């Protein structure tokens, strides 16, 4: 869907029946999201998929946080006073 390169988070909308999608590149705020939905309602900013989209499957979240990776401590003086 061409998502990327303009910041995150991103709102997208997909209509599988019509094989179209739209990507909001505006701020992730109530006003901007409302404008995005209005634009879609007027059939502006909508793109057709080049091929039928495939929805990936994944394991459901187990409700636990991931493992914290402990990194080696370093002294800021080594970096700042080089």
Separation between Cα atoms, residue 62 and residue 76, nearest integer Å: 38
Residue 68 placed within a domain: no
Q: Write out pLDDT tens, residues 57-77.
A: 988 888 888 888 888 887 788
Residue 71 placed within a domain: no
Residue 14: strand, helix, or coil: strand
Residue 41 placed within a domain: yes
Residue 63 placed within a domain: no
Total domain count for the chain?
1
Q: Write out pLDDT tens, residues 2-57.
A: 777 766 777 888 888 888 888 887 777 889 888 888 887 777 778 888 887 788 89
- pLDDT, position 6: 66
- The parent domain of residue 8 ranges over 1-50
Kindly state the DSSP code that residue 18 receives in the 8-state scheme: T
pLDDT at 81 over 80: no
């Amino acid at each position: 869907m061409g998502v990327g390169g303009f910041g995150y988070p991103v709102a997208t909308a997909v209509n599988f029946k019509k094989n179209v999608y739209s990507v909001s590149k505006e701020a992730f705020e109530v006003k901007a999201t409302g404008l995005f939905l209005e634009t879609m309602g007027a059939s502006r900013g909508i793109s057709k998929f080049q091929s039928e989209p495939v929805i990936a499957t994944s394991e459901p979240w187990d409700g636990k946080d991931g493992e914290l990776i402990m990194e080696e401590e370093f002294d800021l003086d080594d970096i700042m006073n080089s």
